[in-house]
Chains A and B, each alone.
Chain A
């Protein structure tokens, strides 16, 4: 007997789980197929930041929208999601970067995102373990961090309560034209197939402009209070911008446990998940430039993960021009946690013909194929 669904989502990472919840809550018969454990893929490898970024107006719109959605959800999230509204400080190392702080401040303020310029003294007070000779920073108090597998698991549990079915551990072997076939032979009838398979999305939808971008993270033992906010160097944008080179950027984050997560690195064409000692060293060295004492902390684990990167650093949300039953919710690079909720809203709005809070147009997959929109 073939099961019939309105929506079948491939991938129960944070994006897939969020999409499943949104669809199920709108009374769409929803199924999710997950090959491992919920939130166990790239979601588990991520830092877990919820951050507004203004690389482009479209990125600002989606991250701001999503950040607000997370804040609205905060009170309902259980303890194991570790939601912490600690805020972000974008750190400036020189006057040139302070100019960028001022520009960002204006841009965020214009977009309605609360932000505060910190001078060197204020920065040192906010984060005593940063190097004293930094010039200042931009505090974005409404940013937050959470524990991604916990969040994905919660979203999936809520989706199940709203009627979504989880097929796990199962792999999608073929999807399109209304049918989704699983590795155990099960065939699901799907009004719409949502590819939320992240770094693996191109396997399910050939021709997707998604490349894997490897990252490294280190987590420390417990040092409560060592870092209070998410800290990002302004050069992070240069690192995320680059479409070819290997790069590192200073990015540390506190966890509710008092542990500190240290990142970040980006590499294309690095397909294996083994720790790359050279780039790890570069990443740590970069962190020590900003936070000299971080070298003294005990690192208890190192891991790697693969972001799903698109050519223009914006995710793919919307119908796939080659097959109107196939929709995408993938390619979120380093903003999957942040924009999972916004992605889910946009997707579900488009599927049900509802009006969206922000425009879905900048994220439409058709922008890469040049085809005309179907929906």
Chain B
């Protein structure tokens, strides 16, 4: 498959949807590529009653002329103006060449996982992870769930689980109360967010929320049966069917990095128009700073308008950015991880799940690259997305440079992008 767009948007979460809709409504030819079967990303994942804003944007997306490429994984950028993607799905595998004039990266974020004894047991999942499974059809009514980790996602997930009839045994937030107060103050500045927070709190009233609390062990024979949690000096065991545990979000930087976008303080560097350091490439949403749906929508609109040439409207909207940025920063501070969490894994706890590499094997190495070469940590199919965030927190290791493929892809697809490059070069020569 070979397609050309004026504006190509990668990621169909709120930021990508907003960018694609705005660009398309401006009259440009827009493509929206996303690796899930349906749009919405994580926070607007299908399978749960959608908030009004989600319904509104999804309706606009349906009505727009955006060409939607759902279920396609972008795995390489072989030359400027070109991305190649492979179709997800069993059996049929196709490769797509996506040519563009302008690119909007809305690749979102993923949960940060920290290792602790028993974290590899079946039914220990991320908070967003369990939510995704439930929206994908996993029955949760009557099941006992402990929610743990850090970040506002925990409250959102707990509320949804309660609404679905799960027995939420508790919510363990590792941040202590003092850390959360500035976020609370920031919420007052954003009445919309405050209402959301209060609504969530009401919904999750059934769940006991404990701050300064985290899981230290997941127990069970072949699947989860109980979780041991700790708060200050006290430890106790909670029997449960699922542990929904994630330590906030880390941005998906792989595609921006492959494209050469400058990374600043762990996020894609952008200007007020959402432009990255690479010409014709914009970035919106979580990869520029974890800020949730409202921030993602604003950034998506600015990027979409900018990519479509509507600079004046983009500039008008970008006046709202500073207030959003304050919220993003307050959120970041509130989710700062307690250094005690570095002590969670035991020597034999697996840090790399793809290759079963225990903590003990990693200790003697001085860099991510050395550890990869000599222990296989990060050499599995997840390409270090799970263990990389953990080792950055545990050891301060920085990841190394990004190479294609961004995700495992069929070897036949890897060959196809070579064909794209050859053809493009041939076209250049014959012009």
Contacts and interface: CB of A to CB of B under 8 A. Distances in A.
Contact between A and B in the complex (any CB pair below 8 Å): yes
Interface of A: 37, 39-40, 44, 80, 149-150, 153, 218, 220-221, 262, 275, 277-282, 284-285, 287-288, 294-303
A37 B373 CA distance: 9
B369 A40 contact: yes
A278 B421 contact: yes
A39 B379 contact: no
Interface in B406-431: 408-412, 414-422, 425
Contacts of B369: 37, 40
A295 B410 contact: yes
Contacts of A296: 93, 410-412
- Shortest beta-carbon contacts, A-B, top 6: A281-B418, A295-B412, A284-B415, A37-B370, A149-B373, A300-B408
Contacts of B370: 37, 40
Contacts of A281: 414-419, 421-422
B422 A278 contact: yes
Contacts of A300: 380-381, 383, 405, 408
A284 B414 contact: yes
Interface string B360-389: 000001110110011000011101000000
A299 B411 CA distance: 5
Of listed A149, A153, A282, A298, residue having the most chain B CB within 10 A: A298
A265 to B, nearest CB: 11
A337 to B, nearest CB: 14
A36 B78 CA distance: 29
Given A37-B367, A280-B415, A298 B409 contact: yes
Contacts of B408: 221, 298-300
Contacts, number: 96
Nearest to A282: B418
A301 B379 contact: yes
B266 interface: no
Contact of A149 (B79, B374, B403, B419): B374
- Counting chain B CB atoms within 10 Å of each CB, the highest count among A153, A278, A287, A303 belongs to A278
A302 B367 contact: no
Contacts of B396: none
A220 B379 CA distance: 11
Given A277-B78, A281-B421, A299 B373 contact: no
A295 B417 contact: no
B397 to A, nearest CB: 13
A298 B381 contact: yes
A299 B403 CA distance: 13
Contact of A301 (B93, B367, B383): B383
B373 A39 contact: yes
Nearest to B367: A37
Given A37-B370, A297-B411, A299-B405, 19 more contacts: A37-B374, A39-B373, A40-B370, A150-B374, A218-B414, A220-B411, A277-B417, A280-B414, A281-B414, A281-B417, A285-B418, A288-B415, A294-B411, A295-B410, A296-B411, A298-B381, A298-B410, A298-B411, A301-B383
Given A37-B369, A281-B422, A299 B417 contact: no
